[in-house]
Amino acid sequence: MSNNETTSLTESLLTPEEVTRAKSTVDHLLSELGRAILGQEELLSLAVTCILARGHLLLEGLPGLGKTELVKSLSSLMGLSFRRVQFTPDLLPGDILGSPILEEQDGARRLVFHKGPIFANLLLADEINRATPKTQSALLEAMQERRVTVLGETHQLPLPFFVLATQNPIELEGTYPLPEAQLDRFTFKISVEGVGTETLQSIITQRKHGVPPTLETIVSGDELNHLFEMVDRIHLPEAVANYIARLVTATHSIHEDSPDVVKQFVRYGASPRAAIALANTSRAAALIAGKPNVGFDEVKFVASSVLAHRVILDYSARMDGWDNQSLVRELINTVPEVGREIPADIKI
């Protein structure tokens, strides 16, 4: 490595002071989120990880578990413009993206584009599986491109731009499940579980009518952009990058080193986009943990949220007691952190 390359690498790495300041900011953010959403520490940490990685998030769970409140709390704490769209079967793409309306200007009539609710920093797509595929596709395209095109005219979405969508796993009659290929647009898919008895008691006794506390902005737009830049500067060691690559490769049944359960039950494995998402979210998880570089623990922390919805299982998998989550856990337990055996003469 040349001197110039060494200097450039040194300047780009985070200093201990920068990591400490960033962790303090994120800890404060998580603490305030914890005031609004009780008993869901891992969910909150994953949601903030996804945001800092500039990804989109899909939350799945029963009604009343705080999915919508989580999104509203994030927008309040980060000072982001926020819109909510309740997805229904009669919702049209124009209801989300906006549409041109004929108006009279300077004595002439012309089409003027009126922006839809998607033109916000944070869009809550509530019960996304209740809208038709045409409307879902319009949203998913905007998520990927971060812009919309209407009548041949392109409009850039505000940055940062996040979609946090929810879907209900019950009452699926008349719904339109997202195709597996489109689920890939979401960086994370997280299953929101119920809370325990003590948390329920706290909700009942501390909150009248279940109303959460009012939250003030604690991370400004400039501070959020600075956190994004710091995530990009988190070092990803070659060994960890290799581990990520081997995890994603192991999801494919045709790979000779894949676990037996993958060869038996997986129809389609994760794409290269999954490896990119693993690297980006692992960097964000490292910053939250107060580390200047990614370790194997950060990859394992985000692996299930990144990989589970990107792996398509054979129909026989469920009959044998396997689902996407359990298969990813098996991958983590099976794929070694280090790809090659350490020579015996240098082992301690």
pLDDT tens digits along 31-69:
999 888 888 899 999 999 999 999 999 998 877 777 888
Tens of pLDDT, residue by residue over 292-322, are: 999 999 999 999 999 999 999 988 888 888 9
The 3-state secondary structure of 263-283, one letter per residue: HHHEEECCCHHHHHHHHHHHH
Q: Is residue 343 part of a domain?
A: no
For residue 83, give the 3-state DSSP assignment.
strand
Look at the chain and report how many structural domains it folds into: 2
Shared domain for 70 and 40, answered yes or no, is yes
**Rounded to whole angstroms, how far apart are CA atoms 74 and 130?**
24
Domain with 296, as residue range(s), is 235-338
| pLDDT value at 347 more than 60 | no
- Residue indicated by tokens 């008895």: 197
Residue 344 CB neighbours (<10 A): 6
Percentage of the chain surpassing pLDDT 90? Answer: 48
Bridge partners, residue 149, by sequence: 154
Q: Is the pLDDT of residue 10 over 50?
A: no
Bridge-based pairing state of the strands 153-156 and 147-150: antiparallel
Share of the chain above pLDDT 70, in %: 92
Interval 203-207 mean pLDDT: 76
Q: Do residues 84 and 192 share a domain?
A: yes
Q: Domain for residue 249, yes or no?
A: yes
One domain, residues 119 and 178: yes
Over the stretch 254-287, which tens digit does the pLDDT of each residue have?
Answer: 988 888 888 988 999 999 999 999 999 999 999 9
pLDDT score of 22: 94
Same domain, 123 and 261: no
Question: Domain of 282: which CATH number?
Answer: 1.10.8.80
In a domain? residue 245: yes
**Amino acid (1-letter code) at residue 3:** N
Cβ–Cβ < 8 Å for 339, 246: yes
196 lies in the same domain as 53: yes
User: How many CB atoms are closer than 10 A to CB 283?
Assistant: 25
Which of 60, 8, 19 shows the shortest CA–CA distance to 293?
Answer: 19
CA triple 113-115-117, angle to 5 deg: 160
Q: Which residue has the higher pLDDT, 82 or 63?
A: 82
Q: Are residues 197 and 275 in the same domain?
A: no
CATH number of residue 130's parent domain: 3.40.50.300
Interatomic CA distance for residues 348 and 343, integer angstroms: 10
| Per-residue pLDDT at 5 | 46
Q: Same structural domain for residues 224 and 248?
A: no
CB 26, CB 50: distance < 8 Å: no
Lowest mean pLDDT among 76-80, 206-210, 324-328: 206-210
Indicate if 299 and 228 belong to the same structural domain.
no
Q: What is the mean pLDDT of the chain?
A: 87
Helix (H), strand (E) at residue 295: none
Residue-by-residue DSSP string for 111-164: EEEEE-TTSSSEEEEETGGGS-HHHHHHHHHHHHHSEEEETTEEEEPPSS-EEE
Q: What is the pLDDT of residue 111?
A: 81
| Predicted confidence band of residue 149 (pLDDT cuts 50, 70, 90) | confident
Structure tokens at 265: 């039950």
CA pair distance 166, 67, nearest whole angstrom:
7
Do 243 and 227 belong to one domain? no
Same domain, 226 and 255: no
**Is residue 30 classed as helix, strand or coil in its secondary structure?**
helix
| Cα four-point dihedral sign 137, 139, 145, 150 | positive
Please determine, for residue 6, whether its predicted confidence score (pLDDT) is greater than 50. Answer: no
**Which pLDDT band holds residue 141 (cuts at 50, 70, 90)?**
confident
